[in-house]
């Protein structure tokens, strides 16, 4: 029996959560969902996922960054791949944004909406197949 890799989705958009969950489950992953940052951090601690995808803007503009900081501060969050997700156009003036050195490491920044095959390809590159 193959153990499925676990992915945690943290986003306040329920439609995005459920659509992405279906895509990832079809791709062979075990998926967990949190609709806000606080429950996302708690879920992180209880399930120890192989990867997390965190929405940049939830209840507040900076909530995704707060979640990222809290997860990176945990023992299991130091090295686990974390993706930030945003509907903000990161190609325009934000495309050359360089976070300060003290900013927690983000493995990838993804733009909403993302195509299913592209998402599965990027995740497989980061954590391997199921």
pLDDT band at residue 23 using 50, 70 and 90 as cut-offs: very high
| Alpha carbons 123 and 9: distance in angstroms, whole number | 13
Q: What local confidence, expressed as pLDDT, does residue 93 receive?
A: 47
Q: What local confidence, expressed as pLDDT, does residue 100 receive?
A: 55
Sheet with 6-10, edge to edge strand ranges: 30-34, 6-10, 51-55, 82-86, 108-111
Residue bearing tokens 């707060």: 66
Say which range, 1-5, 15-19, 33-37, has the weakest mean pLDDT. 1-5
CATH dotted code for 6-90+107-113: 3.40.50.2300
- Please give the average per-residue pLDDT across 22-29, as a whole number: 95
Instruction: Give the β-pairing of 82-86 and 30-34.
Output: unpaired
pLDDT for 38-56, tens place per residue? Answer: 999 999 999 999 999 999 8
pLDDT for 63-116, tens place per residue? Answer: 888 899 899 999 888 889 999 888 765 555 445 455 556 666 788 888 888 899
Q: Is the pTM of this model over 0.95?
A: no
127 SS3 class? helix
- Measured in degrees and rounded to the nearest 5, phi and psi for residue 90 equal -85, 0
Q: What local confidence, expressed as pLDDT, does residue 85 receive?
A: 85
| Alpha carbons 87 and 61: distance in angstroms, whole number | 12
């Amino acid at each position: 029996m193959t153990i499925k890799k676990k992915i945690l989705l943290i986003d306040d958009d329920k439609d995005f959560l459920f659509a992405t969950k279906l895509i990832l489950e079809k791709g062979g992953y075990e998926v967990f969902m949190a609709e806000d940052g606080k429950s996302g951090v708690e879920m992180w601690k209880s399930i120890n996922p192989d990867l997390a995808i965190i929405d940049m803007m939830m209840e507040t503009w900076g909530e995704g960054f707060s979640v990222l900081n809290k997860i990176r501060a945990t023992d299991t969050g130091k090295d686990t791949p974390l993706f930030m997700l945003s509907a903000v156009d990161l190609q325009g003036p934000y495309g050359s944004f360089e976070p300060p050195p003290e900013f927690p490491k983000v493995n990838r920044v993804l733009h909403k909406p993302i195509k299913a095959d592209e998402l599965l390809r990027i995740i497989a590159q980061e954590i391997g197949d199921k």
